[in-house]
Chains A and B, each alone.
Chain A
């Protein structure tokens, strides 16, 4: 979707620019919040809330948009979904009776906690993300490369380096203590 909006006029409070902006992006915002909305949520209210947030306090949020960093459509969908989630989180607080929560959600996980102290910075954020995508989301290397916008070879080498680090640390931690 081409982003053709006079942003300067928009944040100045130009009515025509605002109306054009609403007509241009209402559909996109509706699509974005539809994916984030739970059943029974009024989609129109969510869309209205997104627009209200954009123009609130003299267009404070809209002024944070920087066209040099990302496209307006991408930014708007992220803002729209984030707004929808915030609203639903707010509405949900304190209204869910405990009896309606499935038992599984209240169960304490018996997943064993690692006793070995591992340094927080052992794996880089990218290494953690790639390992998570491979082992938890069962994604292929090529798919990960596309999603992250990097070369498949980079994914492989990142995975390899992360595994070396994990092996080395767990090996050290499990070395038997000499008496």
Chain B
């Protein structure tokens, strides 16, 4: 292009400086169609908006497009085997379609043992709680009895005082 004037670049910079939020990344299918120039201008709008507003989008998009044009790199056999193993061989599965569970079912005694453990811990907790509660009640009631006896003794002595004082007056 003929050298563009500074004022045009300046106008663009002023426009850019207003700051525009990056548009969301389009889905891979739309991007692939755009990369192969299969979209019209209207359909290309969301992609071009993303490319124009996300600073890293253009480089990323160009890199993907250029990678698609080249033959692939050499890949280790081990990596291929690992990727192949991601999909199970249906033919190797039993003919009746029964799927072998990956987790072994737990034996019945283990379940019984687990429930017994829970029951025993509940019983132990209840016993400890009951014992502690009873002790607290016993010590509390003993204190109350002592206090009641002391009050009775004091009341008795005050009655005697009254009696004697009344008596001295007569």
Indicate whether A113 sits within 8 Å of B72 (C-beta atoms), given known contacts A36-B63, A135-B12. Answer: no
Count of residues in A whose CB is under 8 Å from the partner chain: 73
- Cβ of B44: which chain A residues have Cβ within 8 Å of it? 125-126
Contact between B72 and A29, CB atoms less than 8 A apart: yes
Contact between B88 and A15, CB atoms less than 8 A apart: yes
Contact between A134 and B73, CB atoms less than 8 A apart: no
Contact between A133 and B89, CB atoms less than 8 A apart: no
The residue of chain B having its C-beta at the shortest distance from the C-beta of A44 within the complex is B79
Per-residue CB contact flags for chain A residues 141-164 toward chain B (1 = under 8 Å, else 0) read: 100000111000000100100010
Interface: A23 (CB within 8 A): yes
Contact between B14 and A30, CB atoms less than 8 A apart: no
- Cβ of B141: which chain A residues have Cβ within 8 Å of it? none
Near B by CB (< 8 A), chain A positions 3-53 give 13-15, 18-19, 22-23, 25-32, 34-36, 44, 47-48, 51-52
Interface: A96 (CB within 8 A): no
Contact between A65 and B29, CB atoms less than 8 A apart: yes
Give which listed residue, B52, B65, B76, B88, contacts A74 with CB less than 8 A.
Answer: B65
The residue of chain A having its C-beta at the shortest distance from the C-beta of B25 within the complex is A82
Contact between A166 and B72, CB atoms less than 8 A apart: no
Interface residues of A: mostly helix, strand, loop or mixed?
Answer: helix
- The distance in angstroms between the C-alpha atoms of A110 and B27, with both chains bound, is 34
Interface: A87 (CB within 8 A): no
Interface: B167 (CB within 8 A): no
In angstroms, how far is the closest chain A Cβ from the Cβ of B68? 4
Give which listed residue, A30, A66, A147, contacts B75 with CB less than 8 A.
Answer: A30
Give which listed residue, A15, A27, A74, contacts B36 with CB less than 8 A.
Answer: A74
- The distance in angstroms between the C-alpha atoms of A149 and B9, with both chains bound, is 24
Interface: A114 (CB within 8 A): yes
- Cβ of B88: which chain A residues have Cβ within 8 Å of it? 15
Near B by CB (< 8 A), chain A positions 105-133 give 111-114, 116, 118, 120, 122-126, 128-129, 131-133
- Cβ of B87: which chain A residues have Cβ within 8 Å of it? 13, 15, 18-19, 55
Contact between A55 and B86, CB atoms less than 8 A apart: yes
The residue in A77, A126, A131 that gathers the most chain B C-beta atoms within 10 A of its C-beta is A77
Contact between B12 and A71, CB atoms less than 8 A apart: no
Interface: A177 (CB within 8 A): no
- Cβ of B12: which chain A residues have Cβ within 8 Å of it? 131, 135, 166
Indicate whether A32 sits within 8 Å of B67 (C-beta atoms), given known contacts A74-B35, A125-B52. Answer: yes
Interface: A172 (CB within 8 A): no
14 CB < 8 A contacts A-B? A23-B84, A26-B75, A27-B71, A34-B73, A82-B28, A112-B17, A120-B20, A123-B15, A125-B44, A126-B45, A128-B52, A136-B16, A137-B58, A163-B8
Which residues of B does A touch, CB under 8 Å? 1, 4, 8-9, 11-20, 25, 27-29, 31-33, 35-38, 41, 44-46, 48-49, 51-53, 58, 60, 62-65, 67-68, 70-76, 79-80, 82-84, 86-91
Given A85-B60, A122-B15, A128-B52, output 15 extra A-B contacts at Cβ < 8 Å: A14-B90, A26-B80, A28-B72, A30-B72, A31-B72, A48-B86, A64-B27, A75-B28, A78-B64, A82-B28, A116-B18, A128-B53, A140-B1, A159-B1, A167-B11
